[in-house]
Amino acid sequence: MISPGNLRKGSIFSALLILLAMLSGCITSREVLLNGVTTPARVGKYEVQYLVDGKWTKFGAGSLVLRNRKYTWVEDREASSLFNWNPEGLGFALVAIGNNYFIIVVTAADLGNPMWAGKYMYGIARRAGDAFLYDFPSCFDLLASQGISDPQVEKIGAHECLYSSKASLASALTLYAKRTALWKRLVPSIH
């Protein structure tokens, strides 16, 4: 959990968490593993919220835009969040995998400075009403949620778990989401 005091530190806190996320690894693939893109989220204004002391707390705000079945998150400048990695916005796609779960697909081309061998990075989201709880687990966190072993991982390196199978990727991310409390969410703004 993030303490309310840390939320006030905004950009310093975000930079530190992004650095830690990069050092702890990503879930990636070299080839496109998921093609069935869906568009379950409505476009418009959203808030990024973190679960702090049992209460959802606003951490950032922005707009979700849809172009050619691909979303772009554009951050409002008054706040800072981990969802924004590129000044023009972060492009991503959602792929439904059942039971209100979606795999988030981000291509290396949509990031300013990717640090992994794979061309695609993955996260997991779960629809909860109008909100989407989400996470981009590190390689270590994903493996820890499975008891530290996943024979489907093609390569485990210092910075990533590289997958080559859609089924194993979807299974690993779904298991992670079911065993881990997702403490970040994207929720429509009420303002």
Residue-wise pLDDT for 10-23, tens only, equals 433 333 333 334 43
Q: Which residues of 107-142 are buried (b: 16+ CB within 10 A; e: fewer)?
A: beebeeebebebebbbbbbbbeeebbbbbbbbbebb
Domain ranges of the chain: 4-188
Span 45-99, pLDDT tens digits: 999 999 999 999 998 889 999 988 889 888 876 444 444 456 677 889 999 999 9
pLDDT computed for residue 144 by the predictor: 78
**Nearest-angstrom CA–CA distance, 151 and 74:** 37
pLDDT computed for residue 23 by the predictor: 36
Interacting residues of 127 by C-beta distance below 8 A, sequence separation 6+: 40, 100, 101, 102
- Quote the DSSP letter at residue 115: -
pLDDT band (50, 70, 90) for residue 155: low
Q: Is the pLDDT of residue 121 over 60?
A: yes
